[in-house]
Amino acid sequence: MDAYKIIGGSKLEGVLNVSGSKNATLPILAATLIAEGEYILKNVPSLKDVRTMFKLLEKLGLEVEKISKNSYKIINNGIKNIEATYDLVKTMRASFLVMGPMLSHSQKAKVSLPGGCAIGTRPVDLHLKGFEAIGAKIEISHGYVEAISEELIGNNVILDFPSVGATENIIMAAVRAKGITVIENAAREPEIDDLCNFLNKMGAKIRGIGSSRIEIEGVDKLKAVEYSIIPDRIEAGTFLVLSALSKGKVGVTDFKIEHLEGFILKLEEIGYKLNENNGVFYVKGEIEKPKPIRVQTMPYPGFPTDLQAQLMTLLCFSNGTSEIKETIFENRFMHVSELNRMGADIKIDGNIAIIKGNINFSGAEVMASDLRAGAALVIAGLLSEGETLVQRIYHIDRGYEKLEEKLKNIGANIERVKVDII
């Protein structure tokens, strides 16, 4: 199994380029199931999750062809198979996003109940309620969800929680439904905006993009198009944490600052300022140590849960005690015990992490429990004294493109090594 061996304390200096968004790419890839034709997708990140989605599309009958470094041709000559099997769906939760597009294209779909990171239950009931609202009949048996409809008909859908996946899946199912579908309490993440913009370019009629009320007017036909994926705001936020901890010597480029407002507000509260020079952003502080703060994860545009672990690593260096309240996922503090192994002083009280600052990290053997936890441990390792071995980095490979290469380019002493499975 692969691991990262990191020798901490190297001087970090240079510019980190942000790749295309994983969380925008996956639903857009799923959406290529809706209409037949040849798609050209650009700025697609080279990630394990993306490769898994390619395999799933191919299993359903589509063809995937790489045409340049981050550009792909997706050829849809018709869906040949309406079953997304457990062997692929179990490894990536976003695989469930093929259900809405298959319903739109074929009026039927059979998809295994999903897997993914172990950060919470994340049930798919909101997806299924949305499908039922627009006319699909749902049956769950033997670990699979089967949906079928003679005709999808627009309706009002009110989400109990602004679920990103449910919002995306319902939108994709509704674009060819008869009449108008309105999603109330829709999630507002930029990745949903990107999906809607892609679908509108295909010929869909989606209004209210970026708001909590999305209106989809069904159309008879959509067409394949060429499209470029937005940058990954979570990778950008991760790199901005590194910029702060390098005292502004590391720059970050190729991202949209407007996608990170909630995160940047917290950086400013800590005592940092974001400076821009020719499209490169640097995080600098006028204080010796970051200030302690309180943070609560929230749906967009609030502070993103996907940057909670990385910010926690930063707050370990603060001059005081900070608190992070996790409101999105119930199991998203599994990195705490690993950070504590490296010298952090963090205690958990329910869904609140209490972080005492003024610590010094020391290298240790640690284990990534999920994608973002892995990123936090890598940051801690870069700032540690001695050697850190981050195991189970297959989690990190799901969401960060060529991370060790990017970090080496700014001076990090990091290597991918083989270790025995534990």
Report which residue type is found at 24: A
Phi-psi region of 360 (alpha: psi -120 to 50; beta: other; left: phi over 0): beta
Nearest to 383 by CA among 284, 282, 283, 313: 313
pLDDT at 296: 98
What is the model's pTM? 0.95
pLDDT band at 117 (very low <50, low <70, confident <90, very high): very low
Tokens of 351: 């869904």
Which pLDDT does position 119 carry in this prediction? 35
The answer to whether residue 33 scores a pLDDT higher than 60 is yes
Dump pLDDT digits (tens) for 356-379: 999 999 999 999 999 999 999 999
Render pLDDT for 268-322 as a digit per residue (tens, 0 to 9). Answer: 999 999 999 999 999 999 888 999 999 999 999 999 999 999 999 999 999 999 9
* 124 annotated binding-site participant: yes
More confident residue, 219 or 331: 219
Q: Is 50 exceeded by the pLDDT of residue 385? A: yes
As beta bridge partners, residue 355 has 322, 346
306 known member of a binding site: yes
Greatest Cα pair distance in the chain: 65
Q: Concatenated DSSP letters for 377-391?
A: HHHHHHTSBSEEEEE
Distance CA(42)–CA(228), nearest Å, equals 4
Q: Which two tokens stand for residue 26?
A: 């996956």
DSSP string, 219-258: -S-----EEEPPB-HHHHHHHHHHHHHTTT-EEEESS-GG
Residues of the chain above pLDDT 90, percent: 90
Mean pLDDT, the chain, rounded, equals 95
| Rounded average pLDDT over 224-253 | 97
pLDDT of res. 118: 43
Does residue 208 carry a pLDDT above 60? yes
Instruction: Give residue 120's pLDDT band: very low, low, confident or very high (50, 70, 90).
Output: very low
pLDDT tens for 178-193 read 999 999 999 999 999 9
What confidence score (pLDDT) does residue 340 get?
Answer: 98
Alpha-carbon dihedral of residues 182, 187, 192, 193, nearest 10 degrees?
Answer: 80
Q: Is 328 annotated as a binding residue?
A: yes
**Least confident interval from 88-97, 110-119, 187-196:** 110-119
Residue 123 is labelled as binding a ligand: yes
Q: pLDDT tens for residues 153-207? A: 999 999 999 999 999 999 999 999 999 999 999 999 999 999 999 999 999 999 9
The answer to the question of whether 125 is labelled as a binding residue is yes
- pLDDT at residue 116, as a whole number: 45
Phi, psi of 310 (to 5 degrees): -65, -40
> DSSP string of 265-318?
HHHHHHTEEEEEETTEEEEEESSSSPPP-EEEB-STTSB-GGGHHHHHHHHTTS
Rg (CA), the chain: 22
Reported as a pLDDT band with limits 50, 70 and 90, residue 88 is confident
Mean pLDDT of 384-396: 97
The residues annotated as belonging to the active site are 117
